[in-house]
Amino acid sequence: MTFWKKISNVFHKIPLWMAGVVVGVMFLLQGIHGGQLEDMYRKAVMICLECIGIG
């Protein structure tokens, strides 16, 4: 039972926002690894070109 108390104390010392950042970075890396970065960049460029009236 002391193991779980030690683990609990460690997790209470980590701020919640830091856990969110870690999860967010993991999702970003998963998307980059899956090839989603090219699609996102292409869509962002097309939106910008449409906004300024070129595309």
**Under 8 Å between Cβ of 55 and 46:** yes
**Under 8 Å between Cβ of 49 and 55:** yes
- Count structural domains, the chain: 1
Q: What integer pLDDT is reported at residue 1 of this predicted model?
A: 60
With bands split at pLDDT 50, 70 and 90, how would you rate the model's confidence at 25?
very high
With bands split at pLDDT 50, 70 and 90, how would you rate the model's confidence at 29?
very high
| Domain boundaries, position 13 | 3-52
- Does the pTM surpass 0.85? The reply is no
SS (H, E, C) 14-49: CCHHHHHHHHHHHHHHHHHHCCHHHHHHHHHHHHHH
DSSP summary character for residue 1: -
Written as six digits, the tokens of 23 are 């999860």
Q: Tell me the average pLDDT across 20-28.
A: 92
Looking at the predicted structure, is the pLDDT value of residue 23 above 90? yes
